[in-house]
A and B are shown apart, each in its own frame.
Chain A
Amino acid sequence: MSTSNPAKMHLKVKCEDSATEIFIIDGRFNLCDRGIGYTETELEPGIYKVKVRAGFETYEQHVIVSDHDESLTIPPFSFVSPAPLAGTAKTHEFHMGAAEVGSKNPDLVKGHGSSIFIFSRDWTSQTQSSAAPPNIPNPGLGLSLREMNGDVIADLTTAGKRSDSWEPWVSFNVELEPGCYRLNLRLPKGGSIEQTLVACSGWQTQVFLLQSYYDGTDADTKRADLQGASIQLAPLDMGFKSDNPLWRLSELARLGLANERKVLSKDLREMLVGKFENPMLGLYGAHLLLLEAEPDMKLLNEVVDNLHKLLPSGHPDLDALDLFLKRVAPAKFEVPPMLRKSWTHIVNATAENPQIVPPDSLAAEAALHQWGSGTWLLWQHEEAQASTQRGLETIGKVAVMLSNAEVMLRSRLRTATLEGQFEKTDSPFAAISKLRAKRKKRALPAAVRDLMPPQTLKGADPQRRPLAQLNEQDVNHLVQSLCIPRANLERIIKKLETDTEEETEES
């Protein structure tokens, strides 16, 4: 006999890692509540599953709520982090020790005021097999730290401290002037990828890397996993501490951002309001705030204020937040920021102010050769651009090698129909209109022609809007969807106009 309106009980779930998502699922597999770090919910008697997620890891436990309140504490669980933190899944004590020692002992002194520490390691298993190990990889292979002009500061293939035994590691610590630097990785089959590393006055930028396969799954394609890097900022004399709870929290925040999960718990918010010691936690927290349906803009402004106090020498990712919040921001971004989310704000701003990203800057170059899609903004370095990842398009009788951005723009122009009047203007979009009007007279590719309704081939629809009349909303849309600064976009269009006019002349 069923009981109507059974008395509800409380279920409290507390996670010792506060940046942990909690899901409560009832006996019919319905999600009935969720929280971050801590949740207290009223439930009818029943069988419930408590599922928690931290980073990429999940843990599940059933709990029966009957005639009394229940309380569950989820211990910290071992998520995967490239930083050799205590209580994480892929680490060894000797990795922790090497990172702690390496972070406090410079291998090179190039300047003063700041420091960069890079620790790249391989992890394959918790315990060493008794069988003879296969070839031990070099976790620093192809990895180098460079000045912004490309000069090599150190090549970790050979530089730094290292261990070549089971689960090898490489560490490199350099004291240098505050500023922007490049972390470059040579890829197994040629070319390289890069990202910005910012050295801040009074801070050590700590970069931790595991290994990943590039261009295949052979052992010789293993290199440092730049996309999955863990990057923290520590006070100059502190070094790395494997048992620092704030580092663990910051790492969970980074993983939440990487997975686009909303992991801002109450504790983490309180930390962001108050003074936080790790500026990277502030940067991750700012972007996590922006993931929410209704971001707390007051808190975001407080976080940015705190970051300015912690990073008085500046940081391109902080500048990007200032730009987004329409505070006083730099007039130009010549150097790409570290975070991809920061880059999105910068690019969006170029729709109205194209000069923000100068077309010949490193930032503009990076925009056209972005690599990957994770937390960090990575780009292919110029020697890679010539050989890999180009779209190959044949237009008429001319085979043109284009960057990926140009391929996509062509794809868009091919499917856009253009009929009707246009006015001659100086806008590059008007130039495209002209070339489209010329192309109208040539035979369209059969595959495209078959898909067009008859009227677009035969005559103009007076209502149809030609490309020349693209308004600012359309421009904004193109900038955002292509994620290319406006100045670059206009250059590409001009190039297309030139290429297509040449084809028209040839045909």
Chain B
Amino acid sequence: MSGPLSGFGVVLARDLRLAFRRPGEMANPLLFFILITAIFPLGLSPEPELLRTVAPGVLWGAALLSSLLALDLLFRSDYGDGSLEQLVLSGHSLPVLVLAKTLAHWMVSGLPLVLVAPLLASALYLPPEAWGTLMLGLLLGTPTLSLLGAMGAALTTGLGTGSALLSLLVLPLATPILIFGARGVDLAVQGMDPVGPLYLLAAILFLALSLLPLAIAAAVRISLD
């Protein structure tokens, strides 16, 4: 029953179940991702040359923004109905539990982006050679975004400030992910080896996985005090 990782499975299952109960809300980040990506051709021009050039940045920027969208809700409803407090008092390791919550969040809001990316990439005339780099980069980068966002959400849950403050806190910290992800795709488009940025994204992910759950747990405790 207990052990260092106990509670992880339970929280993960619970959060996923809760998410699936509201399929509309679950679809929001994905819809947002598609919407933002569509806005750029409308705002710029439908020229293939132009769109191909901006595609990496647009796709990654859209991924960043749609991850942010879903974050506010990560802790808010649990905070509101007291279940967050239950988690803290449960006796299980809080960093493990918040990691489970973040994983559930990512599976619902980040993973779909990875899967849909090739479709949107082709809409922006991004050559298929670069799709692999795009998907792998998103696969490595979106979990880190979820972790950073979870920390921001935990810090701002108790406040009435809404998502503007959350964005202000998270976006500057997320810029390296944006840079490495988008520029990695660029390298792939140019036929060069994108391994460097991808390794960096992986390294950042591991750093985030080891440190951020602790920070998120601490932030949750502060919010609940």
- The reply to whether chain A is a binding partner of chain B is no
Query: A: which residues have CB within 8 A of B?
Result: none
